[in-house]
């Protein structure tokens, strides 16, 4: 099993078909062993042999990837991230999704502090306004903004929000994750503490959804 996985992992981004010798070299296998394992993988659709004799990844991997994507329950991935944000920032944490030209609060965890921002799961707000609304379209903007986005009273005068986009396995924006707090608590110490937390959880949630966080991290 380990050697078969080594063969699959020998294919790198941009590879089309690889010759047997190169696959064996990358996987650290003898030619005869690599050939035998490739035959097994080919019979199950995990690799396919080209007309020129090289090997490429097979369609069964795409099918498995699609099953993985469908098996992901967004709540199972998002709620632990919100729990971490709330615990470490001691502020309210939320996850918004885009609905046309609006955004909707899909999940939320309330701050443990007695003075906190108030919002409800299911609340709808305009897209492109506030940290969450701007985070949902950040990768479409020209020029692209720094991440995470911080908004000072854009929607509600006494509220500061910090948010960053989250990507799915297709590279599309799955939502925006972040925290909100009363404006009086947003001082330099809170900024230094909370911005890295939001960026970290946006990247971690992107990975959990099968996505690549590099477009997010490149804007930090």
pLDDT tens-digit readout, 159-197: 999 999 999 988 999 999 999 999 999 999 999 999 999
State residue 122's pLDDT score: 86
Question: How far is the first Cα of the chain from the last one, in angstroms, to the nearest whole number?
Answer: 39
Do residues 58 and 42 make contact, with C-beta atoms less than 8 angstroms apart?
A: yes
CA distance 59 to 192: 46
Q: How many CA atoms lie within 13 A of 160 on its CB side?
A: 17
State residue 66's pLDDT score: 66
pLDDT tens-digit readout, 105-162: 989 999 999 998 878 888 989 998 999 999 999 999 999 999 999 999 998 899 999 9
State residue 99's pLDDT score: 87
pLDDT tens-digit readout, 8-29: 999 887 788 899 999 999 999 9
pTM exceeds cut of 0.85:
no
CA distance 133 to 154: 10
User: 15, exposed or middle or buried, with CB in 10 Å at 0-12, 13-18, 19+?
Assistant: middle
């Amino acid at each position: 099993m380990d050697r078969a996985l080594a063969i699959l992992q020998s294919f790198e981004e941009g590879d089309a078909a690889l010759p047997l010798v190169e696959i064996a070299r990358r996987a650290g296998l003898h030619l005869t062993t690599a050939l035998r394992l490739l035959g097994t993988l080919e019979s199950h659709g995990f690799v396919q042999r080209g007309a020129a004799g090289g090997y490429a990844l097979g369609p069964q991997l795409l099918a498995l990837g699609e099953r993985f994507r469908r098996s992901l329950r967004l709540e199972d991935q998002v709620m632990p991230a919100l729990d971490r944000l709330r615990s470490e920032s001691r502020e309210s944490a939320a996850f918004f999704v885009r609905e046309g030209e609006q955004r909707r609060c899909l999940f939320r965890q309330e701050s443990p502090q007695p003075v906190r921002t108030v919002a409800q799961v299911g609340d709808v707000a305009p897209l492109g306004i506030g940290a969450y609304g701007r985070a949902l379209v950040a990768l479409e903007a020209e020029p692209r903004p720094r991440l995470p986005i911080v908004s000072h009273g854009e929607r509600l005068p006494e509220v500061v929000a910090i948010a960053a986009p989250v990507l799915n396995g297709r590279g599309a924006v799955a939502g925006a994750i972040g925290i909100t707090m009363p404006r009086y608590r947003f001082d330099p110490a809170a900024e230094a503490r909370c911005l890295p937390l939001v960026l970290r959880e946006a990247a971690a949630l992107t990975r959990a959804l099968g996505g690549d966080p590099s477009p997010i991290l490149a804007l930090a």
